Each structure stands twice: as structure tokens, then as C-alpha cells.
């Protein structure tokens, strides 16, 4: 799956470079100017992947707001706020051992650094960055069965333990993310973007007599590893608040004249 997302990123990068080249060829008068004003401000949007997954996957609902604020020419303060709920079950030997629902909210704060050298006047981005994330959530054990390896008393399934829901509240977890992403300006101040995230759990507050198997904002948790992978696709609007002048470097050929 990771190779799939990386392939999409490289396709997206090539597409964004094509957009920049096209705009560069159509605005020769900008190239010849001595400088221009770079826009600084706030960009706010939504993650398109979570509403899509909510429609495609039974038992899942999710929503995320994304935003960033331009601090310097290539540095952005970034934030994501989201809410997710997922109902799933654990299967053992083709029988359901337990069924549970996880629901909660999360926040991710960090920075992105733009590594892409735009043509004069362009605002596309290829970024690397990091996040600190915190999630507060609850889990409900909807039903469970007793694990019985020999199946003597119940050959067609596990012995039913309970159908009465058991709630575990006030749970939380935190993690760090390494983020690789890009954004391309489709129209004036309208951006599409995507990112891939490699996450590492820092803390995980497990409930008594159960454990956190899925964390909103982080995804699945396993016994073998504290690492996770995530992604998003965003559509956002940039609100310019002020401008700073950027001087254009003169071409070597012009310095020889």
C-alpha cells in the first residue's frame, strides 16, 4: 500500500511541475520584472479522503479540517483537526471473538518546509514536515465470546461471553509523524494537496481488561509495532492577509550585457 501512495505522489509532482511550466511560459512579462509580492496568509480546507471512506466503508465515519499559516518564504505552521468513529471486529479461526466501536477526536500540530523551487510567481509546494498528534477517545466493547481452542462445547463458534456493551472512557494517545506532501494551485488561491505520514506512538493509555486496537487519527494499533502509516487528500482555500516583496535574481546572460 505504501508503494501505491508513493507512486501517486510522484505522478502528482509531475503534474504540478507541468502546471508551473505552463504558467511560466504564459507570463513572460513577470519573468522580466525585478521583483514581485509574495502572498502570506492562512490556508484552510478539508481532507477529501475521510468523507470518501465514510461512504465506501461500513462502520466508519470521519471528517478532518486542515490548515496552515505561512511563517516565512518556505516555512509553514500546520494543523489538522479531525473526528473519527469505527466499528470493527476481531476474527479468530473464522469466528468473531469480539466486536467494538472506537470514537473520538484528534489534533495534529507541526511545521512544513517547502523544498520546491518555484518558477517566478508560482506557489506550488513539495514539503517535508513533522507533527505532534494527540487523540482523546472512547471505546465500547459491543459483545465478546470466550476463546476456546478445542471447541468441544461449541464446535461452530466460541462460547458467548456477553452482548451487553461495556464502555471505556477517557482514553488518550499521542504520537509523532513524519510528513511528505505536496500542494498545487489549481486556480487562484484554490489548492489541491496530498500527503503520506509515517507515525510512531509515544503514549497509549489502554483501558483495564482491554486494549486500544484502533486510535482516531492514528489508525490500527498492533502488538508487534508502534508504527503506523496514514495519508490524506485535501482541497483548500488560501486567504491572503499581507504581502512581502521578493526580489528576482537576474539571469547570468543579463549580467554579461
Contact 148, 158 (CB under 8 A): yes
Candidate ranges 5-19, 222-236, 240-254; pick with highest mean pLDDT: 222-236
* Four-residue CA torsion sign, 152, 156, 158, 163: negative
Q: What's residue 98's pLDDT?
A: 74
Q: In the prediction, which pLDDT does 37 show? A: 79
What pLDDT is stored for residue 42 in this prediction?
Answer: 96
Please tell me the predicted confidence (pLDDT) of residue 257: 47
H runs (alpha helix) in the chain: 2-26, 28-31, 49-56, 252-255
* Percent of the chain residues topping a pLDDT of 70: 71
- Contact between residue 240 and residue 41 where contact means Cβ atoms under 8 Å apart: yes
Closest CA to 197 of 214, 213, 175: 175
Residue 13 pLDDT: 47
- Residue 169 CB neighbours (<10 A): 10
pLDDT band at 117 (very low <50, low <70, confident <90, very high): confident
**Range of weakest confidence among 53-62, 161-170, 185-194:** 161-170
pTM (2 d.p.)? 0.79
DSSP string across 134-150: EEEEEEEEEEEEE--SS
Report the CATH architecture of 2-240.
Beta Barrel (2.40)
Size of the chain in residues: 257
Amino acid at each position: 500500500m505504501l508503494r501505491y501512495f508513493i507512486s501517486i505522489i510522484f505522478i502528482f509532482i509531475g503534474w504540478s511541475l507541468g502546471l508551473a511550466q505552463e504558467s511560466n511560459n504564459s507570463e513572460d512579462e513577470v519573468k522580466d520584472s525585478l521583483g514581485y509580492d509574495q502572498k502570506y496568509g492562512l490556508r484552510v480546507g478539508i481532507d477529501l479522503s475521510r468523507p470518501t471512506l465514510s461512504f465506501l466503508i461500513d462502520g466508519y465515519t470521519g471528517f478532518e479540517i486542515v490548515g496552515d499559516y505561512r511563517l516565512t518564504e518556505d516555512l509553514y505552521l500546520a494543523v489538522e483537526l479531525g473526528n473519527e468513529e469505527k466499528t470493527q471486529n476481531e476474527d479468530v479461526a473464522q469466528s468473531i471473538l469480539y466486536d467494538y466501536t472506537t470514537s473520538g477526536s484528534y489534533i495534529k500540530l507541526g511545521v512544513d518546509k517547502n523544498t520546491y523551487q518555484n518558477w517566478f510567481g508560482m506557489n506550488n509546494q513539495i514539503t517535508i514536515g513533522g507533527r505532534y498528534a494527540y487523540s482523546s477517545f472512547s471505546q465500547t466493547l459491543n459483545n465478546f465470546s470466550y476463546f476456546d481452542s478445542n471447541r468441544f462445547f461449541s464446535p461452530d463458534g466460541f462460547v458467548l461471553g456477553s452482548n451487553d456493551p461495556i464502555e471505556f472512557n477517557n482514553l488518550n494517545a499521542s504520537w509523532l509523524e513524519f510528513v511528505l506532501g505536496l500542494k498545487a494551485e489549481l486556480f487562484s488561491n484554490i489548492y489541491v494537496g496530498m500527503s503520506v505520514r509515517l507515525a510512531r506512538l509515544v503514549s497509549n493509555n489502554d483501558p483495564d481488561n482491554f486494549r486500544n486496537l484502533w486510535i482516531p487519527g492514528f489508525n490500527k494499533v498492533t502488538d508487534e509495532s508502534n508504527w503506523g502509516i496514514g495519508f490524506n487528500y485535501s482541497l483548500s482555500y488560501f486567504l491572503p492577509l499581507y504581502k512581502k516583496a521578493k526580489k528576482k535574481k537576474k539571469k547570468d546572460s543579463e549580467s554579461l550585457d
